[in-house]
Amino acid sequence: MGAIGNLIPLAILFAFVGGAAYVGYQIYLWSNQLADRGVRKMEKKNVVFSKDGMKVGVKEVRPEDYADRTQRAFVKTWNAAQEDKDAGKRKSSRTSSYKK
């Protein structure tokens, strides 16, 4: 009975170390999966991590598309400015008609 009594603490120690090793391994697996998901998500956004560092890919925009977008923004700004100018004229003409 003395020899078995001396082995019980050793068995408890092995069980504790084995449980801690299992939990540590599961955390290691989970962190690697999380990192892989992050890399895949960033690759969808044209960001690639390599040994040299991070590389950002830029979507290629055709010159025609760039010109169309720029022109569209300019026209919208111009029209908005004209509407504000016209609205100012309308307000002043209304107020002058009421003063008469």
Q: Among positive and negative, which fits the CA dihedral 49, 53, 54, 56? A: negative
Stated pTM of the model: 0.47
The residue type of 57 is G
| Cβ(25)–Cβ(31) below 8 Å | no
| Cβ(98)–Cβ(91) below 8 Å | no
pLDDT tens across the length of the chain (100 residues): 678 888 999 999 999 999 999 999 999 999 999 999 988 888 888 888 777 887 777 777 788 988 998 999 999 999 988 877 777 665 555 555 555 4
